[in-house]
Chains A and B, each alone.
Chain A
Amino acid sequence: MYSILLFLHSLGRWLVLISLITSIAIAARGVRKTATTTGNRKAAGPSTATTTGSSPQRHRAFTPAANAWRHWTATIAHLQLLLGMLLYFQSPIVKYTLPNDPYHLVTEHVFFRYIHITLMFVAVIVITIGSAKARRATTDPAKYRIMLAWFAAALLILFIAIPWPFSPLAGRPFIRKF
């Protein structure tokens, strides 16, 4: 059970990262499009900006696909959190203290017991709030902007808190086998 959870949690990291990065890319594209079209309008006036669509707002619409990515990013992050919590209460590394580790800043016990769980919890809350705010926003550019800001913040936290093989905090393989 424990090894299966560990495998799923390790694999889940990639799903979280892929969905989050894709969402950020979609949001960034939406934001950039909005910025350039408004820039065009200011620089050359609306009559010459013929390349952009015919809608009066001239921004990229918040498509159902973008909305689905937003939703699934949050859902995958939640599932990953649930897996992590199940692991947390079974993990021997969380339970027992370890001798000092000369290769890392903290011991794995300290990392997984305090740092990993706290940062990840914050990251999932940031994703949750960002997703809900984007859903609530009434205009499409606002949706993209909120999604970009909150998801990028979450990605930064995730990147610190994931036990990458190269992390100064704790090392785990990129891909864990059974």
Chain B
Amino acid sequence: MKQLFSTRIGRLQLLGYLEGISLLLLLFVAVPLKYCANNAAMVHALGPVHGLLFLWYIFQTLSIGVEQRWRFQKTTWKILVACIIPFGTFYIGRQMRK
């Protein structure tokens, strides 16, 4: 747990969790509310939050990828793709540790 804060990869993993949670909330709570209950308030609230976390995650991944000499074709692209798949960042976060 402490690793989540103390290393750059740990912080990327933490950021991935936050991004993943915001994506899940958006996808399974806010969007159904908008289209089934005609209540777009949650989408308006969560949309920008998710967008910012998403961008931040992408830039941190690029930055850490260059620094750690990850091969783009082997590693970095998987971590980038993970953030657009629901639950993806949770899976890739565990893989990153290994």
Contacts and interface: CB of A to CB of B under 8 A. Distances in A.
Interface string B58-69: 010011111111
Contacts of A125: 59, 62
A74 interface: yes
A89 B59 contact: no
B72 to A, nearest CB: 11
B51 A85 contact: yes
Interface in A69-84: 74, 78, 81-82
The interface residues of chain B, by DSSP majority, are classed as: helix
B55 A131 contact: no
A93 to B, nearest CB: 18
Q: What's the interface size class on A, roughly?
A: 10 to 19
A85 B69 contact: no
Contacts of B47: 89
A136 B63 CA distance: 10
A133 B66 contact: yes
B63 A82 contact: no
Contact of B63 (A81, A85, A89, A128): A128
B52 interface: yes
A28 B75 CA distance: 33
B87 interface: no
Most B CB within 10 A of own CB, among A82, A124, A125: A82
A86 B51 CA distance: 8
The interface residues of chain A, by DSSP majority, are classed as: helix
B56 interface: yes
Contacts of A89: 47-48, 51
A130 B64 CA distance: 12
A85 B62 contact: no
B63 A86 contact: no
Interface in B61-97: 62-69
Nearest to A86: B48
A136 B56 contact: no
B56 A78 contact: yes
A124 B63 CA distance: 11
A132 B63 CA distance: 5
A33 interface: no
B59 A128 contact: yes
Interface of A: 74, 78, 81-82, 85-86, 89, 124-125, 128-129, 131-133, 135-136
